[in-house]
Structure 1
């Protein structure tokens, strides 16, 4: 038996029934499906729909502002190293190739000089690489000429590495916005700044040399006027750590960032030094920590790469003492080429990335890079 009359369903096409429960005061009924959205309440701002470029899909997500090797935001240590390796990997000719080229050309000089001297006048060098004291004058002069040409070539190679550092600064600037530079393009980008770059190198190295000479002269004075070893020991305990700390401080504030500043900004030698000084202001410890860690890594890796070549040279000098000078020069040249192939690009890339990072932190450089990459900042 049913408790009441059976419920009748409406026939097809009949209008929907009216809700017997009235809507609460202040509520807005839902619009029927397919109807246009209601206008925004008064006082609400609508999302602007101005014409112009739009970010590509995904650019507003986590990896949004990374059109190239670097995320366009303040960088972490991992970002800096990852960006440096990406720059080297995707621009090998303008980084590794340039470092190998300048080093190999410079080291070709002592190799040729030593070859000629070895098979003409002879070179008086023993198995340890030292000049034989019992040799004739011509043999001794040959050894001095070979070693002198090696020293000169090392200096020339370092000048070449300075030019490579300037090229890598332009490579880093281009990689930040997703562009690659070849060897010719990177070299052309340094046009008009090459002599300034060499002058900058001379200025900063001369300043450090004068500082070192002044400290050595102070040691000479202290030793002369001290009445015994106690004052000299006390002087050393106080001034040696202070001098090392001063050198580290000047390295970051005075020496570390002027090269990318000179390459990428319309400044001269002293203007570049001032730019490096201002960028590292209030950022000394972070910059110093990353720079010191980078130097340790680069020198360790470079040493590991050059150790096998040095061992081959030592074995050759023991096996054929008459060609000891030739083995020494050949292995030194090859070791320096291999070492610079990694050390020079890596140090230059990390330095340039740190320059970009400091400018993004202090000068909103990331906004300029986004604009150049075609990204509309959110």
Structure 2
């Protein structure tokens, strides 16, 4: 004769342990890696009638019809970790073995260096420029100070020497305006002309520096630090492409400005004054707009030439195409950076020039002492502005390529290889 418990199949005897809920087909065995109750979530409810004494400890209450979380729940619905939930649904950390719970939330953007490897915002570009200096100050500041000091010292010596020569040559020109020299027109014009004659050397130096600094910034993005020798070695051969491009742009501007000035002069010679006014105003406005347009469209050419290592013509054309669709954003950042650069330059230069005028009683800034003080201020200002501008241009190039070409994936791979 059987006991009542034996007559009721599937019902446990009093005091007997309650069997675990059945394992869904295809699921790993209990106790396997990742299996088991998750803190904060109840275990799934087994199907069938409620056993006497209730469900075992840890088992959830039966859900109402249509309520999420039941055994056999449809994939993609309900709370995370449902028993038998399909992979790819629900929140991370769900119940079940790896592959049955939901995937983890996407991690934060990888940042092995000075900026995160994803499209950058304005604040991240500006902050990255300062971080580039802190990441490699020996190259960013040391190399810049070295080159700028040599160039400015040579320029100052040439300016001081040429000022006297040019002032004597301009004596006849200024005699009608300032016959007794009380206004200092001769010395002032000589100083201005001497500075204009030496400006191309400074432009050449800053162009070369920009190319060298771009290499350092590009390595800082993936967490690498390069020495001065490595920067020079990596930039060898490519830097002259940047110089050649800058000279080409300069020649174009000289031709355009000369044509504009010639047109105005020709109309003035014929005394067509209304045409002079129209051409002067409309042409001047067109020159300004064309200057901004050409500057932005060619803004990414130096970093492209330095970092891609391709042929000159195709690389310039590719950099031109990269700015397509990003013109207004690049223009806004370019204008903001130039405003910052001018504020930095004037904050350093104006107090130095004022002090030199007062201390050396030289309002025209033509004495050797005045030129020396002005040169020191120029070295400091040029160092800060060149470093900042070069870093911003390099980061804008990287940002545009991450937006359009997925460069962040390649940079992440390069960072992983570096760590490995």
Length-normalised TM-score, structure 2: 0.67
Higher RCO (C-alpha 8 Å, min separation 6): 1
Structure 1 residue 296 displacement after superposition: 0.9
Cα 1:116–1:149 shift into 2, 3 Å: closer
1:176 is aligned, of 216, 221, 238, to 221
Is 1:245 equivalent to 2:286 in the alignment? no
1:298 is aligned, of 318, 341, 345, to 341
Preserved CA contact (<8 Å) 1:83 1:353:
yes
Cα 1:300–1:31 shift into 2, 3 Å: closer
1:186 is aligned, of 227, 231, 240, to 231
Cα 1:61–1:238 shift into 2, 3 Å: same
Structure 1 residue 223 displacement after superposition: 3.5
Instruction: Flag the structure with larger Rg.
Output: 2
Is 1:156 equivalent to 2:201 in the alignment? yes
What 5-or-longer segments of structure 2 have no aligned partner? 1-13, 37-82, 89-96, 169-173
Give aligned pairs, total.
332
Structure 1 residue 345 displacement after superposition: 0.6
Q: Distance in 2 between matches of 1:307 and 1:182?
A: 34
1:279 is aligned, of 322, 336, 341, to 322
Q: Distance in 1 between matches of 2:179 and 2:271?
A: 39
Preserved CA contact (<8 Å) 1:95 1:164:
no
Cα 1:185–1:219 shift into 2, 3 Å: same
Cα 1:210–1:270 shift into 2, 3 Å: farther
Is 1:331 equivalent to 2:373 in the alignment? yes
Q: Deviations over 1:30-71 (max 9, x none)?
A: 999747859x979969978xxxxxxxxx99632x41110011
> Residue 16 of structure 1 corresponds to which residue in structure 2?
17
Preserved CA contact (<8 Å) 1:316 1:324:
no
Q: Deviations over 1:178-211 (max 9, x none)?
A: 1112322222221112322221211111111112
| Aligned pairs (5 A) from 1:211-230 | 211-224=256-269, 227-229=272-274
Q: Distance in 1 between matches of 2:376 and 2:272?
A: 51
Structure 1 residue 219 displacement after superposition: 2.2
Secondary structure of 1:243 counterpart: helix
Preserved CA contact (<8 Å) 1:162 1:197:
yes
Is 1:360 equivalent to 2:402 in the alignment? yes
Which structure has more helix as a fraction of its residues? Answer: 1
> Residue 85 of structure 1 corresponds to which residue in structure 2?
130
| Aligned pairs (5 A) from 1:36-185 | 61-62=107-108, 64-111=109-156, 151=196, 153-185=198-230
Is 1:342 equivalent to 2:384 in the alignment? yes
Cα 1:67–1:44 shift into 2, 3 Å: closer
Q: Distance in 2 between matches of 1:364 and 1:323?
A: 52
Structure 1 residue 238 displacement after superposition: 3.5
Cα 1:168–1:133 shift into 2, 3 Å: farther
Secondary structure of 2:112 counterpart: coil
Q: Deviations over 1:268-288 (max 9, x none)?
A: 443343122111011111111
> Residue 3 of structure 1 corresponds to which residue in structure 2?
none
Preserved CA contact (<8 Å) 1:107 1:153:
no
What 5-or-longer segments of structure 1 have no aligned partner? 1-12, 49-57, 125-129
Preserved CA contact (<8 Å) 1:165 1:344:
yes
Structure 1 residue 152 displacement after superposition: 5.2
Q: Deviations over 1:133-174 (max 9, x none)?
A: 779xxxx99x96x87775555432321211110111111110
Cα 1:353–1:31 shift into 2, 3 Å: closer
Length-normalised TM-score, structure 1: 0.73
Structure 1 residue 243 displacement after superposition: 2.6
Cα 1:332–1:252 shift into 2, 3 Å: same
> Residue 241 of structure 2 corresponds to which residue in structure 1?
196
Q: Distance in 1 between matches of 2:215 and 2:282?
A: 43
Q: Distance in 2 between matches of 1:351 and 1:35?
A: 53
Preserved CA contact (<8 Å) 1:102 1:157:
no
> Which range moves more in the overlay, 244-253 or 327-336?
327-336
